[in-house]
Chain A
Amino acid sequence: MTEEQHFLKLFAHNLKGMTGLVIVLTFVMMGVLAPFVSPYSPYATNPNAFLLSPRPSHPFGTNVLGQDLLTLDLYGAQISLIVGLSSAAIAVGLGLVAGLFSGYFGGVVDEIIMRIVDFFIVIPALVFMIIIAALLGPSTVNVILVIGMLSWAPTARIIRSMVLSIREWPFVESARANNAGSLYIMFRHIFPNVSSVLYGNAMLAVASAIFTQAALVFLGVGNVTAISWGGIIREAYATGALTNGDLSYVLPPGFFIFILIFGFIMIGYAIEEILNPKLRLRRQ
């Protein structure tokens, strides 16, 4: 059995991991199928049916513009997944490269990269993002870029600490003795050995990006025009639906964000648990 197969087998037997996977896949389906299963068009407004309470024709009611809330909640999965996955890809990619360089070259390169990492870990990312996103103006791409560029530091730190030990392994030594280039060694020999940790980390990055996107939209920065769960919650808050006790308006979008984040965190934690035997549950 190869290492990947062994990992997959352990993952398949991990309750947390499988729960997370089912959750995430459900939301992916929801996002993909939204155009086909939604009862209304997400953009269709109806001035005669605004702020309706839940009823058979509108199970979650309607918003101020008379848009069907169930439809909006289904469509909301799209932007959360797109922003979550793309920002995490940027963050993890940057973190991987920074971590590899830092750990592999050591010395001054390491010192400089790690101080930058320290800086990015310490600064209040959300404040930073609010300001940049507010200044850049509303656009989904901007939000993705801002979240991605400000979230790579934790990944870099973890990858670096792994590279530090892998660097000393015999196969890296021998590759170096054979005059293999640094980049070649980094990506060909070291990368495969850090990739599994990277996946675990990526899941946590997705979770935090989904949260950040929703938070930014809630605060009114980022792309407030796109259909998103954070946006629906903001709307409910701003139009007084919340203080009216309009549960079907506020509850579903937040609950979806919560469950989706929870799913990614469970997957990430399961991967970590499989890789770190100390955390593995002991069934004895």
Chain B
Amino acid sequence: MSEFGNYLLKRVAFAILSIFIIITFDFFLFRLMPGNPIEILYRNPALTSAQIAVLNRQFGLNLPLYQQYYLFIWNSLLGNYGISIYYRTAVSQVLYPSLENSLVLLVPATTLAILLGIMTGRIAAWRRGTVTDGFLTGSSMALYSIPTFWLGEMLILLAIASSSFPVSGMYTIGEGFSNGFVQLFDLLRHLVLPLVTLTLVLYGQFTIIMRNSLIDVLDEDYISFARSKGATERYIMRKHAMPNAELPMISLIAVNLGLTVGGAILTEVVFNWPGIGLLIYDSINARDYPVLQAAFLIVAIAIVLANVVADVLYSYLDPRIRYS
């Protein structure tokens, strides 16, 4: 049990270190770039003198760099990300709603992609070498190859041509919703296209991961042994093969979260979904560096934390780690 505790401790320590490095990157990236964008922007005439005074106090912009760095770490951990140049409010007020909107898209898309991927990967592995497998593997690779933003645009073309689903935003603009149910329905209609896009591009890779993982497992001795006990193929799949193949999926999903987020950003931009990806995109165009800085920080930290959760879950589910 102490081994297990050690393992978890190590992962958590690594996560803390990662977050520290991310904050450091974030600080220097925006300060050492040509022209020192941050300092220029905090002297932006668009901000009121009161706001600049607050920023100066919070971030110590007149202090030496190492003190600014120290203050930046502290502020990052406290959630003080400064003031948005474009929106002229606290960054967190822009950031958190975007984060929520992103999750509304990201969570169902990832879940769907994983479930579908497990299903088709299972069929492909089961029928490896057959036409079915060739078709499933081939189409998964094709889905994996499709540029997210282009797939989104193709769906937009289709949707416009058939005038079936809204292609932009999260709610119908200017609509006064009579009740929560109507609003939810409007949201779901807006969700369809981005959800389909993101699910499709993520789904291919999960199918391939599942298939290869399952093929490895199906070659193991314990599968043959179960067969020699008189188990049916269906039973072997359910009881022996799938659990062993799904386990590595947990860490692979976590590790691939970076890619998933990349796909989400592109999807949000194409469909004008007001999530953190669209926020990043808009901030680049508006040169809103404080928002950009904070968005990077929050996305990176979220992924690191998700990986810690995956590690804990994995080690809990795998007795080889739990009882080592």
Contact = CB atoms under 8 A, between A and B. Distances in A.
Interface of A: 16, 115, 118-119, 121-128, 130-132, 134-137, 207, 211, 214-215, 218-221, 230, 233, 236-237, 242-243, 245, 247, 250-251, 253-255, 257-259, 261-262, 265-266, 269, 278-279, 281-284
Nearest to B157: A245
B146 A126 contact: no
B108 interface: no
A132 B156 contact: no
A151 B150 CA distance: 23
A262 B140 CA distance: 10
Contacts of A123: 22, 258, 300, 303-304
A257 B160 contact: no
Contacts of A134: 284, 292
Contacts of A253: 150
A215 B29 contact: no
B221 interface: no
Contacts of A230: 147
A255 B142 CA distance: 11
15 contacts: A16-B138, A122-B255, A124-B257, A125-B259, A125-B262, A127-B299, A131-B292, A207-B145, A215-B262, A218-B149, A220-B284, A236-B153, A258-B145, A261-B145, A282-B128
Contact of B154 (A125, A250, A269): A250
A279 to B, nearest CB: 6
Determine the main DSSP class of A at the interface with B.
helix
Contacts of A214: 147, 149
Contacts, number: 151
Nearest to B130: A281
B161 A126 contact: no
B106 to A, nearest CB: 12
A170 B147 CA distance: 46
Q: Give the size range of B's interface with the partner.
A: 35 or more
Contacts of A245: 157, 160-161
A122 to B, nearest CB: 6
A249 B17 CA distance: 47
B141 A124 contact: no
Contacts of A119: 18, 21
A207 B29 CA distance: 27
Contacts of A236: 153
Given A121-B255, A207-B145, A242 B304 contact: no
B14 A118 contact: yes
B18 A135 contact: no
A219 B269 contact: yes
A23 to B, nearest CB: 10
Given A220-B285, A257-B150, A282-B128, A127 B157 contact: no
B307 interface: yes
B295 interface: yes
Give 4 nearest A-B pairs by CB, closest first: A254-B150, A126-B262, A262-B145, A261-B145
Contact of A131 (B29, B147, B269): B29
A118 B11 CA distance: 11
Contacts of B261: 124, 126-127
